[in-house]
Amino acid sequence: MIIHTVCRFCSACCPVEARVESGRLISAQRKSFLPPAERINCPRLMRAPEIVYSRKRLSSPLIREGKKGAARFRDAGWDEALDLVASKFLQHRDVSGPESIAWLRGMAADWGAPWDYAQRLMNAFGSPNSIGNGSVCHVAREMAHFYTYGAMTMPGIKDSSCVLVWGKNDRNTMPGAFEALLHARQNGAGLIVVDPVRTPAAAMADIHLQVKPAHDGMLAMAMMHEIINSDLHNKNFIRDYTLGFDALARAVQNYPPHEVAPFAGLDARDIIKAARMYARSSPACIVDGNGLDMQLHTFQATRAVAMLRAITGNLDIAGGDIIPQPPRVHNIQLRDRLSPDTYPVTRDYSLFGSFHPNWGLHAQSCLVDAMLDQTPYPVNMVVVQSGNPLATMADSTRVQKAFESLDFMVVIDPFFTRTAELANVILPASMCFEKTQLNRASLRTSPVILQDRAIEPLPGTRPDWKIIFALAEKLGLKKEFPWEDVQEAIDFQLEPSGITVEELRNSPQGIRDGEQVFEKYRSKGFNTPSGKVEFFSDRLEQNGHDPVPYQHGRRENPISFSSHAGHALVGMSGERENRFTHTQFHHVDKLLKTGEKPTVDLHEQDAGSLGITAGEMVRVHTPRGSIKMQAGVTDRVRPGHVIIAWGWGEVHQDYNLNLLTDDHHRDPVTSTPSNRSFMCSLEKLRD
């Protein structure tokens, strides 16, 4: 039997066909416009049965018996475990107020309806602290798009005549998009890649701007300098649909390509060539990615990149950067249930918390402050759902201390992770093929595609929705969660669009809520306070932020630990591999090479001058901590840069890259720390 569903082993949310026999998942194949032989393989999907039926899956709720960190747990029934969790919710509310309890979300259960359920539960209970990890992933970038033209655009890669890939590695992270890029290339589209690493896209690009990490904002300003001063901007679009162009044109004068180039590790001629090629192609689109996230200038750098789309008039045209058309839905988060007197621990980043009607809060570093320093007030109970913060949040040493200080901690995860070791209760979650849900990809734009259950939840596990609905009932919130099952809940959420789960099951290709329309701004304007693209933002100025990005002309080094002596190499958190999702799946033998260990990859020149050969053990130091890995040699980066394998922190603490990162300095708008790049030093180990 073939079941049409969506893979959620990572946030790419690929539509797939799952083959199921006698209730067992046999295989799964990604859908694509290409014939099977030409498709990009995803190793994780190819190993879906090994992942789903891994012997490491949890099969019963666990309750702590020993002291924290001692990893002594006993099996418990679902009722007993949920009763204990509910009693702790009530106890903490009575003693310290509902806001002393927080819900922290990683990325795995998806950001669509499952995230809405978590927020609904917490809001109805009275705690404003449901917090996601979007400060380092996507949401900060999305806010920069919103503050420029009121929505996050989607690149029309397939129909584009020039694709500018900015810090994204779709070959490994979103294979469908990479297939679209190959298709566009075959049709003659130009390709420019901005990436410190020679990625597969960079290797086939017309121009590869091998920018120094975190210098993207200044590079975007230099490109706009070239476009505006060479009169290549779209004057009609700017006149009719934008605000503050003069202020932007003045700001870019501080960033001539020849001055930015040495600073950003580039050749000015390449910046000029790329700017002209992008501006002279129509339609052109920009594919921006996680390379722009996790930087100290994330918000303004992404805003500068977003402005490139606007000055060239590429917004909302076929093959350009398209404004999505989300389906009409009920907002089910119940935010109005919160008392006006409460405020979340993310208060200092209130613009970030309010820019979008459903994203909710994502300044996750603030939660660590609240746990550890009790600012702005103490949080002493946390539920961690679908995340492994002990390995994925910046400055693991500090994060660990924070979690150790909690009175009570609950983890909802299919596996016993490094984070789960500190929990009081662990609730075993079902994985993606075992549940029906509405993904964020479907709430963000039409068509709506259903992630449908392909197999029954594994014995002892429960889907996230079911865990939340049951906990709500135990907390006396049955009225707020009246749905008998997830299908009823999804039907309710989709009601305004008239789309139902049953219809979605009969339309595996998805259902649109309305026809696709381009250039919607002509009739509706943009979703900003002024109704125009805002090169100058009053909202930012009123809140003490630069209304125009990089308007002061400063060229400070935005890489963390730059001012620390003795750390001369730029350490880069490595790009995602297509075999793993962050800290997940390193236990699946069939995804590993024999005897494989993570590596720190250096340029040959650096390896030579440091006397390091491939295979030797090295220690990487930053002012926060150190890790130990094998050295590798690569020509994918420039001398002076090292790529440190990302996501191995679950395997061994020696490999936990976030022991190196800093959470002290943060982006002023989105609280983003610099997980991505930092100055470091290498030491060769004897044995």
Ligand X SMILES: Nc1nc2c(c(=O)[nH]1)N[C@H]1C(S)=C(S)[C@@H](COP(=O)(O)OP(=O)(O)OC[C@H]3O[C@@H](n4cnc5c(=O)[nH]c(N)nc54)[C@H](O)[C@@H]3O)O[C@H]1N2
468 touching ligand SF4, by CB under 6 A:
no
Q: What residue ranges bind ligand X (CB under 6 A)?
A: 10-12, 106-109, 133, 136-138, 166-170, 172-173, 194-197, 199, 211, 213-214, 216, 289-291, 295, 385-389, 392, 412-415, 417, 429, 431-432, 464, 572-573, 575-578, 580-584, 646, 657-658, 661, 675-677
Size of the site for ligand SF4 (CB under 6 A): 11
10 touching ligand SF4, by CB under 6 A:
yes
Pair 603, 197: CB distance under 8 Å: no
| Secondary structure in 3-state letters for 154-194 | EECHHHCCEEEEECCCHHHHCHHHHHHHHHHHHCCCEEEEE
Q: How far is the CB of 620 from ligand SF4 (least distance, A)?
A: 28
Place of tokens 């130009």: 190
140 touching Mo ion, by CB under 5 A:
no
Q: How far is the CB of 603 from ligand X (least distance, A)?
A: 14
In the complex with ligand X, which residue's Cβ is closer, 101 or 383? 383
DSSP string, 219-235: HHHHHHHHHHHTT-S-H
Q: How far is the CB of 408 from ligand X (least distance, A)?
A: 18
109 touching Mo ion, by CB under 5 A:
no
**Phi first, then psi: what are they for 411, rounded to 5°?**
-120, 130
Short-list 679, 636, 628, CA closest to 657: 628
Q: How far is the CB of 328 from ligand X (least distance, A)?
A: 27
In the complex with ligand X, which residue's Cβ is closer, 78 or 377? 78
Handedness of CA 81, 83, 89, 91 (dihedral sign): negative
Q: Which residues contact 309 (CB under 8 A, 6 or more apart)?
A: 149, 153, 285, 286, 315, 320, 321
Pair 109, 385: CB distance under 8 Å: yes
Q: How far is the CB of 495 from ligand X (least distance, A)?
A: 25
449 touching ligand SF4, by CB under 6 A:
no
Preceding peptide of 61 cis, ω within 30°:
no
- Rounded to 10 deg, the angle between the 464-474 and 78-96 helix axes is 60
**Phi first, then psi: what are they for 536, rounded to 5°?**
-115, 130
178 touching ligand SF4, by CB under 6 A:
no
Q: How far is the CB of 448 from Mo ion (least distance, A)?
A: 22
Please tell me the chain's helix, strand, coil percentages from 3-state DSSP, rounded to the nearest 5. Answer: 35, 20, 45
Site for ligand SF4, residues 40 to 69, rule: CB under 6 A: 42, 44-45
Structure tokens that stand for 451 in this block: 């992630």
In the complex with ligand SF4, which residue's Cβ is closer, 171 or 208? 171
In the chain, the N- to C-terminal Cα span, in Å, equals: 53
Could you say which of ligand X, ligand SF4, Mo ion, none residue 312 binds, taking C-beta under 5 to 8 angstroms by partner kind?
Answer: none
Amino acid identity of residue 596, one-letter, is: E
Q: How far is the CB of 619 from ligand SF4 (least distance, A)?
A: 32
Could you say which of ligand X, ligand SF4, Mo ion, none residue 14 binds, taking C-beta under 5 to 8 angstroms by partner kind?
Answer: ligand SF4
Structure tokens that stand for 326 in this block: 């989300």
Could you say which of ligand X, Mo ion, ligand SF4, none residue 45 binds, taking C-beta under 5 to 8 angstroms by partner kind?
Answer: ligand SF4
In the complex with ligand X, which residue's Cβ is closer, 164 or 238? 164
Strand partners, 573: 644
Size of the site for Mo ion (CB under 5 A): 1
Chain residues in the site for ligand SF4 (CB under 6 A): 7, 9-10, 12-14, 30, 42, 44-45, 175
Q: Which residues bind Mo ion (CB under 5 A)?
A: 137
